[in-house]
Amino acid sequence: MFLRSLPPESGASYYSVDAFAIEAGIAVDTIPACLRILAENVLRHVGRNGVTAADLETLLRWKPEAPQTLAVPFHPARVLMQDYTGIPALVDLAALRDAMRDQGREPSRINPQIPVDLVIDHSLIVDRAGHAGALSFNLAREFERNAERYQLARWAQGAFDSLRVVPPGNGILHQVNIERIAQVVRTGTHDGKPIAFPDTMVGTDSHSTMVNGVGVLGWGVGGIEAEAAMLGLPLIVPLGRIVGVRLTGQLREGITATDLVLTLTKTMRAFGVIDALVEFCGPALATLPVADRVTLANMAPEFGSTCALFPIDTETLRYLELTGRDAKRVALVEAYARAQGLWRDAETREPTFSDVVEFDLSTVEPTVAGPRKPHSRVALGAVPENFREEMTRGASDTGTLSDGAIVVAAITSCTNTSNPAVMLAAGLLARKAVARGLLSKPWVKTSLTPGSLVVGRYLEASGLQRDLDALGFQVAGYGCATCGGNSGELDAKVAEEIRERDLVACAVLSGNRNFEARIHPLARANYLMSPPLVVAYAIAGHVGIDLTSEPLATDRDGKPVYLRELWPSNAEVAELGANVLSPELFEKSYATLFDGSPEWAALEAPEGTLFPWAAKSTYIRRPPYLDSFETVAAPVPDIEAARALLMLGDGITTDHISPVGNIAAGSPAALHLRERGVASVDFNAYGSRRANHEVMVRGTFANIRLKNELAGGREGGITRHVPSGEVLSIFDAAERYAAEGVPLVIVAGRDYGAGSSRDWAAKGSALLGVRAVIAESFERIHRSNLVMMGILPLAFPEGVTRQTLRLDGSETFDLAGLAHRVAPRAMLPLRIHRADGTIETIQLKCRIETPNEQHVWVAGGMMPFVLRRLGAEPEKEAA
């Protein structure tokens, strides 16, 4: 009824939001683009999975001045996964197939209903860096470590429909997404007729928002939510505030997109956009290239927002053409965007938002962020003072290793390697430095891990790779690497000196995450910055130098060299970019995207509908989430006499909860692996062991910088068992509580679960026996993940904290009537039994947000919820 035709050359129709709105008598001429895309999605799915026209009408009547939280049923067009999160999702799907078989149902019904792309990009570890053989060595080691995981991916590629796998060595999923996979507008069929619709997506990585920069609405979700989307179920999006960011002005000479994004990240955090949809507007969009837009969109998780969408305009089309997209696809994007009201140009009326952040690009200054949080902006000239204040130690360039010494300098991460301007600027700065005879300091581990093969090719074509090589920035691999915690080992002598002298060493990287102990266990201060600044700091070797006023080194003639002398002009960067970037470069680089290396082709992968679990595998284990599955869910039991497993402060990230990096010697996970004959050198990283729940539950809360208030002032994955008073590893304490029949809760401060969309932060908590998390506030993705694992997220009332309640871990907690009291945003009574015999009751807000989330929580989590739903559907008869 609401199908309309696009221009004849497109050969397709589309579902018109305007047509529905006119019939319903709703004005939609100034609704934000993100709302219009969601509305089209609902309209196209009316009559499926319980979606009704009333849902669409409610959505279109959203009020910007007084928004209510709406539950929007969202069917993403596709799913994007990386291997750290994607391979565990495949393990879950394989376990669901086993469970279907055990019920006497057809296992192959567990099968993706929408396109899924798995990009293997997170398993690269920078074992070697700083010489020409690093690339091949690191790739070979990656295959040695991860053969079992990659065999599982190969099996899944054959066992599941609509699943494509991008083999290792091709780049980072987000950059591969914007440069090749994303279509902006997709095509399908309706009643046998071709239709066009927005290329929406969800990804199992927080920075999936990067695709917002090319006009695609998408964000990061937990792997469990992604599994539900794959199986055709709607994701229920809580829609409340939509915040506009109005960009004006222009970046000044020498200011990079990285400076802009780190500045805006702090601005957005301060403004407060947690759980909001963010959309960009304003006159500056006309001159802001897509390469800068995707850099901004990538950091939406650091804003705290769900997305950071840019509208479709001529810059979008220019980017699609540059990256080698088919001319017909580019024409379809323009035709669809204009017809659906998603096109922006100078004549377009600006949307009406709940709030608007005004941001003048001309105010941006050279910027870094650190030393622990991506939204902690620091002016470049203030870095020495920031280090001294934050780390309580001064830094001075003594010419030897000392506090403030930079031991990791990495050009890495999708955020910046996707932007040719900052990458070429890094190469040009290196060229000028080499011409002056400068070198990186010997204690600095330097590395370059581009986000796609395109970057490697244009650096070679421009001749800049030779200059980067001279400073130790040889390509060490194409993948996530340092930003994801896989920086590899430091030089043994450097590491020994840091430990012996208890030095506060630093890392600098062009990444998006710098949480404690993420980059390297021995780098206690971590600063995010642009690629050219990474090169400059590698030469300086210290954060104690003010690069805005002091020389970073002396040249071969003994003359001081200042950063301003090396910094390339905007004109130099633009001229070089025009010479080396072309559609042909992108087409050639992506021609073999799904082929893989000889090592990939040589993998022997199992075949068949069911995955053959290997009993002795230390990488791939059948997960236990469905071991006690019942076809009818039992009533949710109350929580009685629970103990606090941990008591935590503000800003606890998913890196604190579920580390991604190295498995420390002596940790419960290390002991478990040694008992199974795994040598320390083969431990690999926690991220690579995520398909083995026995390793991962032992790694939950194993971050060496975790500050648990029940641990007597000591850092690390330890807690105090009550009533014995013994200090144990968190895993061992949880095991003892389980043997004693004691349920567990976690008590925390603000922003609990910030950071990556890491399933294992929720999965591990569930396997430790945690029934509820009581915090002052939650980050969006982790809150959802807790619900998806059957854990109840609860919020203290305003003004009430663990400190005001004087909680010390000696208490027990009761939550009664859960079977009938739990509802979205309901108030639940918490009874606190103190050691002195007194009892206090407070009201907590249930942070289950929608009825759908409530259904999932009551079912015990997403996997049993999906299994009961699919198990109840009738089998289709064979044709």
Asked if the model's pLDDT at residue 230 lies above 80, the reply is yes
Higher pLDDT, 224 or 455: 455
The predicted model gives 199-223 an average pLDDT of: 95
State phi, psi for 179 to the nearest 5 degrees: -85, -20
With cut-offs at 50, 70 and 90, classify the pLDDT of residue 395.
low
For residues 785 and 470, the model is more confident at 470
pLDDT of residue 515: 81
Element (H, E) at 830: strand 827-833
Report the pLDDT averaged over residues 23-45.
97
Least Cα distance to 543 among 797, 369, 420, 286 occurs for: 369
Q: Are 258 and 295 in contact (CB under 8 A)?
A: yes
pTM across the whole model:
0.90
Percentage above 70 pLDDT, the chain: 99
Q: How many H-runs (helices) and E-runs (strands) does the chain carry?
A: 32, 32
Give the pLDDT confidence of 287-338 residue by residue, as tens digits: 999 999 999 999 999 998 999 999 999 999 999 999 999 999 999 999 999 9
Closest CA to 465 of 132, 165, 768, 853: 132
Asked whether residue 872 carries a pLDDT value surpassing 80, the answer given is: no
pLDDT recorded at residue 876 = 60
- The dihedrals phi and psi of 603, each to the nearest 5 degrees, come to -65, 135
What residue ranges do the domains of the chain occupy?
3-74, 639-658+709-870, 660-699
Which of 777, 618, 582, 625 shows the shortest CA–CA distance to 692? Answer: 618
Cβ-proximal residues to 342 (8 Å cutoff; 6+ apart), any chain? 33, 36, 37, 198, 215, 311, 312, 336
At 740, the pLDDT band (50, 70, 90 cuts) reads very high
Task: Please give the Cα distance from 440 to 433 (Å, whole number).
Answer: 10
d(CA 486, CA 122): 8
Return the number of other C-beta atoms located less than 10 Å from residue 108's C-beta.
Answer: 14
Tokens of 879: 């044709």
Phi, then psi, of 323 in degrees rounded to 5: -85, 10
pLDDT (tens digit per residue) in 850-864: 888 899 999 999 999
> Over the Cα atoms of the chain, what is R_g?
26
pLDDT tier at 757, thresholds 50, 70, 90: low
pLDDT of res. 397:
52
Evaluate whether 207 touches 174 at the Cβ level (below 8 Å).
yes
Give the residue among 437, 432, 422, 399 at the shortest CA–CA distance from 540.
399
Sheet strand arrangement including 185-190: 3-5, 13-15, 193-198, 185-190
Asked if residue 394 has pLDDT above 90, the reply is no
Q: What percent of the chain has pLDDT over 90?
A: 85
Mean pLDDT of 143-168: 95
Q: Which residue's structure tokens are 């022997």?
A: 604
On the question of pLDDT at 12 being above 90, the answer is yes
From 3.50.50.60, 3.20.19.10, 3.30.560.10, 2.60.40.1180, which CATH number describes the 639-658+709-870 domain? 3.20.19.10
pLDDT attached to residue 660: 82
Structure tokens at 835: 């050691």
Task: Give me the pLDDT at residue 878, please.
Answer: 39
Cβ–Cβ under 8 Å, residues 687 and 484? yes
Helix (H) or strand (E) holding 196: strand 193-198
pLDDT in tens, 814-839: 999 999 999 999 999 999 999 999 99
pLDDT of residue 781: 81
The residues, any chain, with a CB within 8 Å of residue 267's CB and separated by 6 or more, are 357, 359
Q: How would you write 743-772 as a 3-class SS string?
A: CEEEECCCCECECCCCHHHHHHHHHCCEEE
Strand 78-82, strand 201-203: pairing = parallel
The per-residue DSSP string of 332-376 comes to HHHHHHHHHT-B--TTSPPPP-SEEEEEEGGG--SEEE-SS-TT-
The reported pLDDT for the residue numbered 752 is: 96
What is the rounded CA–CA span in Å between residue 769 and residue 744? 6
pLDDT for position 879: 34
Using CA atoms, how far apart are residues 711 and 398, in angstroms rounded to an integer? 37
With residues binned 3-state (H G I as helix, E B as strand, rest as coil), the percentages for the chain, rounded to 5, are 40, 20, 40
**Residue 559 — very low, low, confident or very high, per pLDDT cuts 50/70/90?**
very high
Mean of pLDDT values over 251-276: 95
Residue 71: pLDDT over 60: yes
Q: Which of the four pLDDT bands, split at 50, 70 and 90, describes residue 399?
A: low
